[in-house]
Amino acid sequence: MENLIVIKVGGNTLNQLQPDFFRQLQSWLRQKKKILLLHGGGTKISELSQKLKLAVHKANGIRITDEKILEVTRLVLLGNTQPQLLQQLALHSLPALGLNAADQFLLQGDFLDKQRYGFVGKIKHVNFNLLEKILAKQIGVLAPLALTKSGQWLNVNGDSAAAEIAGLLKAEELYLLTDVPGVMSAGQVLPLLNQKKAADLQKTNVITTGMQPKILAAFHAIETGVSQVKITDHFYNSGTKIIQEGVNNNELTFSNL
């Protein structure tokens, strides 16, 4: 999709959005960019699950999702974090529309690994025509949930969902916004990261379990045609730019590792 920017906003980041975040969105809209925001809600999902005395388990950074956890996830994403983000956008006079998988089967998916993760999915198809019409007029605010062809709801990791959608729609840019300024090593942000270096950093536990799904998603986006992918906490920070093997490798500087 031409002029498309996909932005994943983590659940912890929603309460920390600064005025420059909204000014950047306004600037992009003036430039006729199409903007799709995907929002998380992991912390609130865990908090509500614990209040309901539901066990919270993760594997490889992915939330194990049974039927009860799935209901909690839908409740938090569609009833709490999405309205919260929509309210903030409205307060900054930004036109936005809340979206979910049930809107004309906007997001279709399939089980990631039902035996291992339960009702966790992977995005397989996006209703391109519907989304293009919506984004031509306003910002889309989308929850990371999918529906199977038979109508089963699936929980999707927010970073993975953003990367899959950005790849399927051939977005120009993907921003994975988090609560740290980028991929960190020895207290400094790594300006560039390729797969080989990421694998090395995972082996030495510099890249921890919490960051791994985000990095895997970022590389998937690059491999599926997204022109630029960044992991950062603010648009004005350079963050960590994800690059393919053999691309600008002479720019990689890891002397601080």
Give me the pLDDT at residue 196, please. 87
Over 50: is that where the pLDDT of 142 sits? yes
Positions at the binding site:
41-42, 63, 155
**In angstroms, rounded to a whole number, what is the distance separating the alpha carbons of residues 215 and 127?**
26
> Could you tell me the domains of the chain?
4-100+125-143+159-193+207-247 (3.40.1160.10)
Give me the pLDDT at residue 208, please. 65
Over 90: is that where the pLDDT of 187 sits? no
CA-closest candidate to residue 157, choices 171, 176, 172, 174 = 176
The pTM of this model reads: 0.91
CA-closest candidate to residue 175, choices 190, 185, 165 = 165
Over 50: is that where the pLDDT of 172 sits? yes
| Rounded average pLDDT over 59-68 | 90
Taking phi over 0 as left and psi of -120 to 50 as alpha, with beta for the rest, 65 belongs to beta
**In angstroms, rounded to a whole number, what is the distance separating the alpha carbons of residues 62 and 116?**
10
Range scoring the smallest mean pLDDT among 2-6, 11-15, 133-137, 243-247: 243-247
Question: What size, in residues, is the chain?
Answer: 257
| Structural contact between residues 77 and 86, judged by C-beta atoms closer than 8 angstroms | no
Tens of pLDDT, residue by residue over 87-116, are 999 999 999 999 999 999 999 999 999 999
Give me the pLDDT at residue 59, please. 86
Give me the pLDDT at residue 209, please. 63
Q: What percent of the chain has pLDDT over 70?
A: 94
Surface-to-core class of residue 140, CB atoms within 10 Å of its CB (0-12 exposed, 13-18 middle, 19+ buried): buried
Over 70: is that where the pLDDT of 255 sits? no
Residue 237's pLDDT band (cuts 50, 70, 90): confident
Residue 250's pLDDT band (cuts 50, 70, 90): very low
**In angstroms, rounded to a whole number, what is the distance separating the alpha carbons of residues 71 and 55?**
14
Average pLDDT, the chain: 90
Q: What percent of the chain has pLDDT over 90?
A: 70
Positions at the binding site for substrate:
41-42, 63, 155
| Rounded average pLDDT over 63-71 | 96
Beta bridge partners of 109: 123
**In angstroms, rounded to a whole number, what is the distance separating the alpha carbons of residues 88 and 91?**
5
**In angstroms, rounded to a whole number, what is the distance separating the alpha carbons of residues 91 and 12?**
20
